Structure 1
Amino acid sequence: MSHENSEEAPAFRSETATDGDITDRPYAIYRCTDCRNVVLSMQDCDGGMTCHDEPMERVTEAAMDIEPPDLREVLLDAFGLPKAGLDICLCVIGEGPLSPAEVAAQLDYDESTIRSYLNELVDLGLLQQSQLNREGGGFVSVFHSVDLDEMRRETLTGFYAWAGEAAALIEEANLTKAEYVDADHEESLDAIFWEEFDGARADDQ
């Protein structure tokens, strides 16, 4: 899909940088003291988390300073959904049910762009599509919001799946570096590293 106007999207960046301290963040990270298991939770669970039936340690400080992402980055990276898609989704949630023409009347996007994003939003599970009978006969396709609790659950599940894939890549990258250190290679690590992961990315396309 062509993401029109994606470069014009304003930043929705958190004003609070992590600066290594994550004690006041709206999530909690736990790690097992016996294995490499690390768990992310959107709340500080009562009694904490367990692994191997033993309490996990809550992480309060990250060794790496992380720049918090903005909303555009998260939606684009995880769901392929830039500002235009978010605008259309919010319009339908707030004003729906709406037809593509009715959405176009409210937003400054071409109706063809709106139709394309509406279909993508349905595929993502953020919107539903149904048909309404016209007073003069026939019917029109309209779009409306799914249950907001369901939307929250599905978007978080989808993002966690994306984050899991990202975590798997990081783990694979660390294993690649460990294997390089243990082996005798003629090529440099950067050449082997990017060759392997560029090849994996090409295989997925």
Structure 2
Amino acid sequence: MTPSADEPRLFECATCGGIGIGENRPECCGQPMAATEATDAAVSEPSLETLLQTVFEMSGTELDVCLCVMEGGELTVAALAEQIGYDRSVVARHLNHLAEFGVVEKRRRIRPEGGHVYVYTPQPPEVVRERLRGEFLSWIRLATAQLDDLQREKVEAIADARTDERQWTVFQEQ
């Protein structure tokens, strides 16, 4: 399946094995990277829920909170908790996580009767999309490094083995 012209494509460096994602052909090691060929992958397409849970550590509850803020405009923890029926501490925890991502803006507002309250306002959809995309690309970079480390560890373990025993057991013990 070939991506359409406006979809990001996956590229790989023939020299170092680095991976790039984008609409335009990136360069690595002084050469243009080669587009990877789409194959029938053994990996299934992730659902939005799986993607959010895996990459952003976002639960279904947090997604509910996020969507309610996106829909409801400026809200306090108390108002949102009442609206969606979750405990205030759960809502506050999820809102703070969403604020870390930059999906919602957290501001302190002084109350006329004294004290203060935090209000949460959604960022525009294009800002949310870009923030999540940036975090996703960071996650890909880290995941790729993990795969590179696995390969390196496997090769080093086999090379260092001074036995006729199978070395795959090294990875089962970790």
* TM-score bracket, shorter-length normalisation: 0.7 to 0.9
Tell me the residue number matched to 1:4: none
1:61 aligns with 2:38: yes
Distance 1:163 1:51, change over 3 A: closer
Unpaired runs of 5+ in structure 2? none
1:78 aligns with 2:55: yes
TM-score (normalizing by structure 1): 0.71
Conserved 8 A contact 2:16-2:29? no
Q: CA deviation at 1:194?
A: 3.6
In 2: Cα distance, 1:145 partner to 1:63 partner: 38
In 1: Cα distance, 2:68 partner to 2:108 partner: 18
Conserved 8 A contact 1:92-1:144? yes
Question: What's the RMSD between the two structures over aligned residues?
Answer: 2.4
Q: Which moved more, 1:73-82 or 1:166-175?
A: 73-82
Report sequence identity in percent: 25
**Which one of the candidate residues 122, 127, 136 is aligned to 2:104?**
127
Greater relative contact order (Cα 8 A, min sep 6): structure 1 or 2? Answer: 1
TM-score (normalizing by structure 2): 0.82
Conserved 8 A contact 2:3-2:9? no
In 2: Cα distance, 1:103 partner to 1:194 partner: 45
**Which one of the candidate residues 8, 13, 35 is aligned to 1:32?**
13
Unpaired runs of 5+ in structure 1? 1-20, 199-205
Distance 1:114 1:67, change over 3 A: same
1:38-73, Cα deviation, whole Å (9 max, x unpaired): 2122xx32xx22234433221122474221111222
Equivalenced residues, count: 171
Distance 1:34 1:138, change over 3 A: closer
Q: How does 1:35-50 map to 2 (within 5 A)?
A: 35-41=16-22, 44-45=23-24, 48-50=25-27
Conserved 8 A contact 2:74-2:119? yes
